[in-house]
Amino acid sequence: MGQEGHFTTKQAAEAGCSPQLLIKYLKNGRVTRVRRGVYRIVHFPAGEHEDLATIWLWSEMAGVFSHETALMLHNLSDALPRKVNLTLPTAWATRRLRVPKGIVLHQGDVPKKERIAMGAVPVTSVQRKGPRDRVGVAQT
């Protein structure tokens, strides 16, 4: 699954990019900081779900877009959701997270057979059997 030109600090380190080199790339304009720990390669073509890719990377690639966000991505709703809905694994329930504005977190384990890739991001499938998750902290 692509990331639409985005990467995390952890991924940069795994690819052999030192923190000093990342700072150099930031200063010379090769990459930009999108949010804490998430960066974008400047010359990479813009993607359709770029905003969602950064949220997915923020979730350490554990989240799955769900609820109203999934309906919009599947073209099953004309309404644009006011907030992005992201379901995180139940194991994350005890984590203390700094949730970005505009995101509503849900807790639930979404099996691989109940998710699909839409561009760069995972989304709950239309065939998903129903809500087995619980709403976490709603953010404004």
Domain ranges of the chain: 62-138
How far apart (Å, rounded) are the C-alpha atoms in residues 41 and 95?
29
pLDDT of residue 52: 94
pLDDT of residue 78: 82
Per-residue model confidence as pLDDT tens digits over 49-76: 889 999 999 999 999 999 999 999 999 9
Contact (Cβ atoms closer than 8 angstroms) between residue 139 and residue 83: yes
Phi and psi at 109, nearest 5°, equal -95, 115
Per-residue model confidence as pLDDT tens digits over 80-139: 888 999 999 999 988 888 898 999 999 999 999 999 999 889 999 987 655 554 444 444
